[in-house]
């Protein structure tokens, strides 16, 4: 029988709620804090007094008198969250203050066939350098974003994972190695899910309606991944693969070669598909500025210059992207679909995608969906890692425990 929370658990939840409300709201009066959190003013006063003793808040006056209109705000200088991400071609590390400001960012590129142990050594050295710079005791959490499909499966009580198209990952336990090197716990998550969570936390649509459902679609080369957030919750699925839309079939007649289906969404609409479409037709466009060694980024630049061959390749990719999105619309029925920075941020491109989607969905459905580009100025999966760590600390009521420990050791 569930008898509910005991008084200790309730007190922890209330403290966490007040902290979260202050962090998201900035400076607030006690009255505003009580109204926003739904707690009694007496409870707010007790928690604020405790926070003052911990040294994590300040007021706009010299004392905590609680007079009307006194603004209360958090003092979180020198406390950080580290967010890391690894792909098939690079790794990135960002360090964030507890209120979400990125204060450090680094990126290291490597060859696809570079030995994973060499890559791991570089990643650990970079992370250790930042740990020393910002102080191990000042880092309250670490996240790691990995490419998909990220499949979680239980084996002997251990959380294992498999990532396709990156077979070298199976040779190392990346999380265990990082935790051993940093001497800090690492929270691992699929990068598209973290990107979607960052988008949801910052979306204008969500500020208007917290029940907004959102999907972000990203393509880093061959693959396509999606993160889905509904009512503020990341959609996981039984084994964590919800959102692996790249494996969705969009062409039943697609041939199979070495176990890879040419009829999948990622084969037809991943960013590298534009290179294939360009190569298939390049001899029909002898005047094109593109050549057989042209990269995806060069094709995008030629597209911006309105090169006919580039237009053909990019528009075919856009058509296939829109065709796949139309199927996703009927499965998820989201309020908003966000295209990641991997796709060309051009009006002509997104108009083509929207045109195709509306061609295959009911007019009323098509009119209700917003398709747009990301408006975040930084890489969303790193920012999503920051939010994910923070939410985990809230959920487990660990944030204040960690802050208390930091203040006591200072």
> CA 248 to CA 265: how far, in whole Å?
6
Domains 7-74 and 195-373 share a fold: no
Q: Answer positive or negative: Cα dihedral of 148, 355, 255, 314.
A: negative
Q: What is the pLDDT of residue 105?
A: 95
**Among 194, 193, 113, 132, which residue's Cα sits nearest to residue 384?**
194
Architecture of domain 80-184: 2-Layer Sandwich (3.30)
52-64 residue pLDDT tens: 988 898 887 544 4
207 CB-near residues (< 8 Å, 6+ apart): none
Q: What is the pLDDT of residue 323?
A: 95
Burial of 143 (0-12, 13-18, 19+ CB in 10 A): buried
> CA 62 to CA 52: how far, in whole Å?
12
Reading phi first (left if > 0) and then psi (alpha if -120 to 50, else beta), residue 306 is in: left
| The token pair that represents 219 in the structure block | 């393509």
DSSP 222: T
Q: What is the pLDDT of residue 121?
A: 93
Fold of the 7-74 domain? Arc Repressor Mutant, subunit A (1.10.10)
Burial of 226 (0-12, 13-18, 19+ CB in 10 A): buried
Q: What is the pLDDT of residue 290?
A: 96
> CA 402 to CA 397: how far, in whole Å?
10
Q: What is the pLDDT of residue 43?
A: 92
| The token pair that represents 83 in the structure block | 């967010």
Architecture of domain 195-373: 2-Layer Sandwich (3.30)
Q: What are the residue boundaries of the structural domains of the chain, listed by start?
A: 7-74, 80-184, 195-373
> Model's pTM, two decimal places?
0.86
Q: What is the pLDDT of residue 2?
A: 45
- H helix or E strand, kind and range, residue 93: strand 90-97
Bridge partners of 104, per DSSP, are: 95
Q: What is the pLDDT of residue 154?
A: 57
Q: What is the pLDDT of residue 212?
A: 86
Sheet bearing 102-109, strands edge to edge: 102-109, 90-97, 80-86, 139-146, 186-190
Asked if residues 198 and 214 have their Cβ atoms less than 8 Å apart, the reply is no
> CA 246 to CA 266: how far, in whole Å?
4
The segments of the chain whose pLDDT lies below 70 read 1-6, 61-69, 149, 152-168, 170, 221-222, 252-261
DSSP 255: -
């Amino acid at each position: 029988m569930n008898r509910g929370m005991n008084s200790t658990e309730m007190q922890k939840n209330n403290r966490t709620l007040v902290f979260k409300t202050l962090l998201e709201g900035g400076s607030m009066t006690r009255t505003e804090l009580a109204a926003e959190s739904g707690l009694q003013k007496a409870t707010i006063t007790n928690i604020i007094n405790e926070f003052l003793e911990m040294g994590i808040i300040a007021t706009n006056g010299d004392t905590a008198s609680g007079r009307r209109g006194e603004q209360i705000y958090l003092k979180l200088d020198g406390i950080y969250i580290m967010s890391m991400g690894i792909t098939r071609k690079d790794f990135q590390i960002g360090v964030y203050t507890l209120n979400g400001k990125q204060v450090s960012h680094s990126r290291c590129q490597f060859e696809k066939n570079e030995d994973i142990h060499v890559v791991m050594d570089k990643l650990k050295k970079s992370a250790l350098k930042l740990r020393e710079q910002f102080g191990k005791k000042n880092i309250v959490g670490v996240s790691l974003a990995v490419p998909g499909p990220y499949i979680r499966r239980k084996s002997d009580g251990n959380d294992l994972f498999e990532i396709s198209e990156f077979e070298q990952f199976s040779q190392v336990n990346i999380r265990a190695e990082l935790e051993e090197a940093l001497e800090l716990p690492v929270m691992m998550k699929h990068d598209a899910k973290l990107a979607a969570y960052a988008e949801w936390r910052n979306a204008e649509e969500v500020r208007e309606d917290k029940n907004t459902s959102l999907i972000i679609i990203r393509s880093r080369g061959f693959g396509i991944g999606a993160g889905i957030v509904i009512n503020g919750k990341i959609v996981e699925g039984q084994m964590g693969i919800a959102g692996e839309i790249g494996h969705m079939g969009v062409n039943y007649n697609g041939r199979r070669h070495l176990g890879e289906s040419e009829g999948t969404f990622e084969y037809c609409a991943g960013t590298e598909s534009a290179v294939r479409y360009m190569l298939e037709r390049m001899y029909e466009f002898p005047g094109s500025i593109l050549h057989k060694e042209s990269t995806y980024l060069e094709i995008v630049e030629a597209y911006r210059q309105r090169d006919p061959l580039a237009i053909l390749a990019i528009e075919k990719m856009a058509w296939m992207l829109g065709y796949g999105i139309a199927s996703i619309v009927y499965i998820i029925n989201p309020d908003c679909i966000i295209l990641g920075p991997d796709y060309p941020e051009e009006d002509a491109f997104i108009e083509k995608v929207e045109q195709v989607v509306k061609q295959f969905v009911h007019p009323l459905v098509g009119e209700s969906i917003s398709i747009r580009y990301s408006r975040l100025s930084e890489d969303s999966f790193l920012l999503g890692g920051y939010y994910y760590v923070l939410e985990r600390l809230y959920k487990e009521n660990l944030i204040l425990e960690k802050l208390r420990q930091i203040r006591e050791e200072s």
